[in-house]
Amino acid sequence: MVDFLLARPDVDPARIVLYGISQGGCWVPRALAFEHRVAAAVAGPGVHDAFEPWWTALPPELRRLLDRGEKDEFDRLMDEGMAAATPAQRQNWSGGRRPHVWTGTANRWLDRCWSSACSTGSTRRWTCGDAGVGPVPRRSALLRLAVSARAGKHRTGRRREDPFVPVPARRGRGGPLLLALVLAAALAGCADGSGGGITVRAAQFPWSAAKLTNAILAEVTAGHPELGVGRIKSVQVGPATAWAGARRGDVDLLSEVAMPNQEELAAKAADRIELVHETYGDARQGWFVPTYATGPGRPLAGLRSVTQLNDYAAALDGKLIDADPSFITTEQNAKRLAGYGLNLEQVASSEAAQLAELRRAYERRQPILVYLYHPHWAFEEFELTQLEEPTDFQPDCFTTGNGACAMPDYAAWTATSKELAQEAPRFHAMLQRFELPLTDVEAMLKSVDVDNADVEEVARQWVAEHPDLVGEWVGP
Phi, psi of 421 (to 5 degrees): -60, -30
Phi, psi of 281 (to 5 degrees): -145, -175
Q: How much of the chain, in percent, has pLDDT values that exceed 70? A: 71
Question: What does the pLDDT read at residue 166?
Answer: 30
CB atoms within 10 A of CB 46: 16
Cα separation, 444 vs 217, whole angstroms = 15
Question: What does the pLDDT read at residue 473?
Answer: 96
Backbone conformation region of residue 386, classed left if phi is above 0, alpha if psi is from -120 to 50, else beta? beta
Helical H runs in 251-368?
A: 263-268, 328-339, 351-363
Question: What digits encode the pLDDT tens for the residues 221-272?
Answer: 999 999 999 999 988 777 878 888 888 888 999 999 988 878 888 999 999 9
* Residue 371 pLDDT grade (very low, low, confident, very high; cuts 50, 70, 90): very high
Of the candidates 58, 107, 52, the residue with the CA atom closest to the CA atom of residue 78 = 58
Cα separation, 285 vs 116, whole angstroms = 33
Task: Confirm if 332 and 403 have CB atoms less than 8 A apart.
Answer: yes
Q: Which residues contact 476 (CB under 8 A, 6 or more apart)?
A: none
Distance of CA 89 to the CA centre of its chain: 35
Question: What digits encode the pLDDT tens for the residues 286-313?
Answer: 999 999 999 999 999 999 999 999 999 9
Cα separation, 343 vs 345, whole angstroms = 7
Backbone conformation region of residue 295, classed left if phi is above 0, alpha if psi is from -120 to 50, else beta? beta
Question: What does the pLDDT read at residue 56?
Answer: 64
**What is the longest distance spanned by two Cα atoms in the chain?**
84
- The amino acid sitting at 187 is L
Question: What does the pLDDT read at residue 260?
Answer: 85
Task: Confirm if 348 and 324 have CB atoms less than 8 A apart.
Answer: yes
Question: What digits encode the pLDDT tens for the residues 59-72?
Answer: 777 777 777 777 77
> Of 133 and 94, which is predicted with more confidence?
94
Burial class (CB in 10 A: 0-12, 13-18, 19+), 38: buried
Task: Confirm if 370 and 354 have CB atoms less than 8 A apart.
Answer: yes
Cα separation, 372 vs 112, whole angstroms = 27
Average pLDDT on 156-180 reads: 31
Cα separation, 400 vs 420, whole angstroms = 38
Helical H runs in 68-135?
A: 71-84, 87-93, 109-119
- Specify the DSSP class assigned to residue 165: S
Burial class (CB in 10 A: 0-12, 13-18, 19+), 2: middle
Question: What does the pLDDT read at residue 22?
Answer: 72
Q: 444-469: b or e for each residue (b if 16 or more CB lie within 10 Å)?
A: bbbbbbeeeeebbebbbebbeebeeb
- The answer, yes or no, to whether residue 415 has pLDDT greater than 70, is yes
**Which range, of 79-83, 414-418, 465-469, averages the lowest pLDDT?**
79-83
* Predicted structure pTM score: 0.56
Choose the most confident range, by mean pLDDT, from 27-41, 82-96, 185-199, 407-421: 407-421
Cα separation, 127 vs 107, whole angstroms = 23
Q: How would DSSP label each residue in 89-108?
A: HHHHHGGGS-GGGSSTTS--
Average pLDDT on 427-450 reads: 93
Question: What digits encode the pLDDT tens for the residues 120-129?
Answer: 333 344 445 4
- Specify the DSSP class assigned to residue 387: P
The whole-chain average pLDDT of the chain stands at 76
> Of 78 and 85, which is predicted with more confidence?
78
- Specify the DSSP class assigned to residue 18: E
Q: How much of the chain, in percent, has pLDDT values that exceed 90? A: 41
- The amino acid sitting at 367 is P
Question: What does the pLDDT read at residue 50?
Answer: 55
Average pLDDT on 150-173 reads: 30
